[in-house]
Amino acid sequence: MEIHTNIPLKNFTTMKLGGNARFMTEVRTPEEVAATYRNAKAQSLPVFILGGGSNVIAKDEGFAGIVIRMRIPGFEVIADDLNSTTIRVGAGEEWDSVVKRTVDMRLSGIEAMSAIPGTAGAAPVQNIGAYGQEIADTLESLVAYDTEQDNFVTLLNETCEFSYRQSIFRSSQIGRYIIVSITLKLSKNLPQPPFYEALQAYFEQHDVHIFTQEIIRNAVIDIRTNKLPDPKLLPNTGSFFKNAIVEDWQLTDLKASYPDIPTYDMGDGRYKVPTGWLIEQAGLKGKVLHGMKVHDKNALVLINQSATGYHDLANARDEIINAVRDKFKIQIEQEPLEI
């Protein structure tokens, strides 16, 4: 296990911004995670866990501690019965590769989350989701290194306190747990309609009436390819903003002025409103702000067109947030974490 010094974070994050990490290393076993953290703690160094860098924004001042790049491999069937298969996945596995392997096994539960960049260990942190599925639906448990107790623990689904793009790992227990593996329980049943609105519309448009895990995956990849720019070609973090969540009374007020506002019923009197739609209605779709372009196909996405630092991104973000708040009285939130 090698430790490197003064590594540019912009080379390891898909937005291609940020200063240097003082130290950086890769870990390939849970034991290396524990040893690296203990060593950092002994030297009073802060620690940041980095997966694929697709949901992280690096600041201009860099990171004064050690960045641990998660590379723990593993894909193992640990239980199998008539209706389901349970799989343990190493935190360093590429998420989309995991999805493809489960689809090839004809398992349902994560196929609609195809083509989401990043690693498997990062999936529970923000409770990733797409087209009606989220990791909370299938995650049975996970194993993590508890930095406070200096031991490995198994956390069950309910312990993670999942909600929309949220978990204890980015709220009440941020920084405490380093996820080393996740366990997913997937169904052997075929996917059944009705599907998430955008996916259902795709099937109707393409006259698709037979649904398999592979058909769902291919459809999602096609939709995402047309909506989301490839971060390898155009620096971005995918959806930069979370979709807005409003109460029923807020929605009633909004519909009075915007009767065509799109919504998704989340139950309990709460509704998801596409933030991309809000940004577009605020007149910002396709606009370039401080070198950051609001994607002309999906206003949720910010592309680093000519920004020179985090300050450019922050200024663009704040202008967008303020414009949406002024027009709709809704406070939208950034999705990527910051280092």
Hey, what amino acid is at 176? R
Chain-centroid distance of CA 227 in Å reads 16
Rounded (10°) CA dihedral 271, 231, 54, 137: 40
Q: Which residues are catalytic?
A: 165, 239, 335
List all residues 6 or more positions away from 125 whose beta carbon is below 8 Å from its beta carbon.
Answer: 167, 169, 170, 179, 337
For the chain, the distance separating the N- and C-terminal CA atoms, rounded to the nearest angstrom, is 23
Q: Provide φ and ψ at 88, rounded to 5°.
A: -105, 130
Tell me how long the chain is: 339
Query: Do the beta carbons of residue 117 and residue 54 sit within 8 Å?
Result: yes
Q: At 289, which helix (H) or strand (E)?
A: strand 288-289
Instruction: Name which of 331, 112, 117, 99 is nearest 229 in CA terms.
Output: 117
